[in-house]
Structure 1
Amino acid sequence: MKIVWMLPRSGYVTDPRSVTLWGTICWGIRYLFGNGELETFLKKYIDGMPDFVISSAFPYKKWKGERLPFFPNLLRVAPEIDPNDDVDVALKKYRLGKKLSKIEWLSKSQFEKMLRGELSEDDLLRTLLDEYEKKKEHSEQRKRRNPNFKGDYRPKNEEVLKNTPPERHDHSMTHNTIDRLRGGTLSLPDAAGELSGQLFHANDTWWANPDDDKAETGLFFLVEGSDEQIENLLAPVLRFLEHWGIGADRTAGKGFFKFEIEDFSIAEPTDSNALVNLSLFIPRDENQLVEIENAARSMPYQLENRECMGWSATGGFEKNPALFFAEGSVFPKLSGGAVRWRGRLHQNRELPNGQKVYDNGFGFMLNLNWKKP
């Protein structure tokens, strides 16, 4: 398994999820190696034996010189209140249970414990409760003007600081449209028919460490497959994409990253009864759908309908809506496919010129010991 670090050189507009990343990689193959190599690459996916599969991109931060990846949290449903708890404790747990649902990311060590079935909602809730008590004590000491308790509460526990994920920041940037010939703001009729400047807004996404805004943060995705193809095909394409960009508004300087590929491993459980998905996933056939439906009561998943634009050599077009299982979905041990992946390549549509448009529906799966009833 490899990890691809995405070091941001600008903000980005389009979330680099597995479908977007894979489609951009296909464009890179076409530009660098030609249509023949791209057709060979696609055929392996169509036949169910891809050169490699990829996850969606998730955040990381640099802490004490080490890059720490964060993964989706599956444990976001608050546990039931213990009837033996005091009223005050039960009330705290209830309030903190809402915060539990907002814990979107787990550190690698927490994620591995979750994979082994050794981390539960109760464990996360206890951590929240501990920090709640420390924050309350800090506030009370400030009211007493204790000189050792100044400013807002900041966690001091090294483990808490290490496991705190970076935060996403979506900035809305205001732009105007320029008349390149005259060198001024372009004036066009507005809704009332009056000439006016063309102001518009565009989002710009960054990540930052809440405890150190100068620390390095960024994204990463995982790759599993042929080391030879990763080195000879994927690596050159990623070097190309450093100049080409990913997603929307590349011509405005958005979506540019520096890529670094390294060996990576996750301590998966040897004894597992489920799979967790780290990409957008489309089941291979009806049999896989039946397996998922039969386990749906005990294994949480999220469906997502994607409607987006596609691009071809002749310009942009609307893709047909496609239904995916989202990242963080839990499945039974699905039959078929290699150890790491399940799923298929989905033909989204065929253009008037005969060109077929595909979506990557191969799931990047990890073994999971799921202990829910």
Structure 2
Amino acid sequence: MATLQLYRLRIQPQSATLSPWHADTLFGHLCWEAFWEGGAQGLADFLAPFRTGSPPFVFSDGFPDDLFPRPLLPPQELDATDQVARERAMDRAKKTQDIQWLTQAQFESVLRGERLTADSPAPPIRELTQLTLKNQINRLTGTTGADEDDEEASGRLYPVTESAFVREGHARASAIITFYLWAQNESHLQSAVRWMNLLARGGYGKRKTVGYGRFRVLNCELFTLDVPDNANGIVTLANFVPAMSDPHHGYYRTRVKYGKLGEPATLTDVADSPFKFPLLMLAAGSTFYSNTGLGYVGRLVENIHPKNSTIVQGAFAPAIPIRLPN
């Protein structure tokens, strides 16, 4: 076995969030931090290495309590004449199909080419979502009441779906969020941590201006993964869009990202519409046959906005060596 060094950045949510902890969304937030700190030139400097395909750092999606995404693998090949083995394999697949996240020990066993067993426990974490009703504030009266010219403008309710990760036995958000981080060097690592601490001042995701997505950075540390010497593929730790040079033969799920610009966009004349084009991405846990040792896959997606060609979408993912079936 070989060892792979990555960084593990942990944050503690202090409120529910309305947005998933996705790496591409996080990248957009960091772009805004670069803009607020250095203006248009600061943002251009931040994006420059990503545009050239040499990112200084790459974040994974955020996972609860140091867990990992379950790698997507092909069905196990079995002897068609061995009915007992086929039944056992189908039973195992049925019992493990709902496992979304893996512990480090489980993840490392899958990296070695092993399969989850029928009695593999699911981590004691669940995502708690709830629909909450909010009341619109009348901009003229400053309250939920109507003004004299529009009696029907009072009491208009709208729903939001709040989300938080909770440990079994807890009713409130209790799990930390872990980002796995690839960095070119120590200097770029410290830069990534600094951007995250700046982001923590304002929050993450939708409606952060009213208290959603609050968090604090706990720590960032080096850690090692046991990876196989005979790896013949990679597994990704974030939703991403492949670059032309990335491996393409593998197993993956797709998701469509309906991206939006951050809340300040219309305030800074970046665009007159917050909506980006829909973007087809490959989900975290996707696996590909590859001998690359680059440490990441993905690219910066350009021309993602219908009216502003300078707007981009970060779509990178850390890549971990794995042993895939021949």
Shared fold by TM > 0.5? yes
Tell me, in whole angstroms, the C-alpha distance in 2 between the residues paired with 1:218 and 1:40: 31
In the alignment, is the contact (CA less than 8 A) between 2:50 and 2:300 conserved in 1? yes
Change (3 A) 1:34 1:18: same
Amino acid at match of 2:144: T
Tell me, in whole angstroms, the C-alpha distance in 2 between the residues paired with 1:93 and 1:211: 32
Q: Which one has the bigger helix percentage?
A: 1
Higher Rg: 1
Tell me, in whole angstroms, the C-alpha distance in 2 between the residues paired with 1:48 and 1:75: 26
In structure 1, runs of 5+ residues without a counterpart are: 61-68, 129-159
RMSD of aligned residue pairs (Cα, Å) = 3.0
Tell me, in whole angstroms, the C-alpha distance in 1 between the residues paired with 2:166 and 2:295: 31
Change (3 A) 1:78 1:283: closer
- Residue of structure 2 equivalent to 1:108: 104
User: In the TM superposition, what are the counterparts of 1:232-311 in structure 2 within 5 Å?
Assistant: 233-259=191-217, 260-285=219-244, 288=246, 291-292=247-248, 295=249, 299-311=250-262
Tell me, in whole angstroms, the C-alpha distance in 1 between the residues paired with 2:110 and 2:280: 27
Change (3 A) 1:185 1:95: farther
Change (3 A) 1:214 1:282: closer
Matching of residue 328 in structure 1 with residue 285 in structure 2: yes
Change (3 A) 1:305 1:75: closer
Out of 308-317 and 263-272, give the one that drifted further. Answer: 308-317
Deviation at 1:197, TM superposition (A): 1.5
Tell me, in whole angstroms, the C-alpha distance in 2 between the residues paired with 1:77 and 1:164: 23
In the alignment, is the contact (CA less than 8 A) between 1:44 and 1:51 conserved in 2? yes
Tell me, in whole angstroms, the C-alpha distance in 2 between the residues paired with 1:280 and 1:360: 10
Q: 1:120 aligns with which of 115, 118, 130?
A: 115
* Cα deviations by residue, 1:318-356 (Å, 9 ceiling, x for unpaired): 101222111111111165xx620123211033675x661
- Residue of structure 1 equivalent to 2:322: 368
Tell me, in whole angstroms, the C-alpha distance in 2 between the residues paired with 1:208 and 1:369: 32
Tell me, in whole angstroms, the C-alpha distance in 2 between the residues paired with 1:350 and 1:78: 39
Deviation at 1:179, TM superposition (A): 3.0
Matching of residue 348 in structure 1 with residue 308 in structure 2: no
Matching of residue 230 in structure 1 with residue 189 in structure 2: yes
Q: 2:56 aligns with which of 34, 41, 51?
A: 51
- Residue of structure 1 equivalent to 2:158: 200
* Cα deviations by residue, 1:209-264 (Å, 9 ceiling, x for unpaired): 11455894121111111211221x22222222111111101112001111122222
* Cα deviations by residue, 1:296-334 (Å, 9 ceiling, x for unpaired): xxx321122212211432265210122211111111116
- Residue of structure 2 equivalent to 1:219: 177
Which TM-score applies when normalising by structure 2?
A: 0.83
Change (3 A) 1:46 1:194: closer
In the alignment, is the contact (CA less than 8 A) between 1:41 and 1:51 conserved in 2? no
- Over the matched positions of the two proteins, sequence identity in percent amounts to 24
Tell me, in whole angstroms, the C-alpha distance in 2 between the residues paired with 1:211 and 1:114: 28
Q: 1:21 aligns with which of 5, 22, 26?
A: 26
- Residue of structure 1 equivalent to 2:71: 74
| Secondary structure of 2:178 counterpart | strand
Tell me, in whole angstroms, the C-alpha distance in 2 between the residues paired with 1:280 and 1:250: 22
Which TM-score applies when normalising by structure 1?
A: 0.73
In structure 2, runs of 5+ residues without a counterpart are: 1-5
Deviation at 1:39, TM superposition (A): 1.3
How many residues align structurally? 307
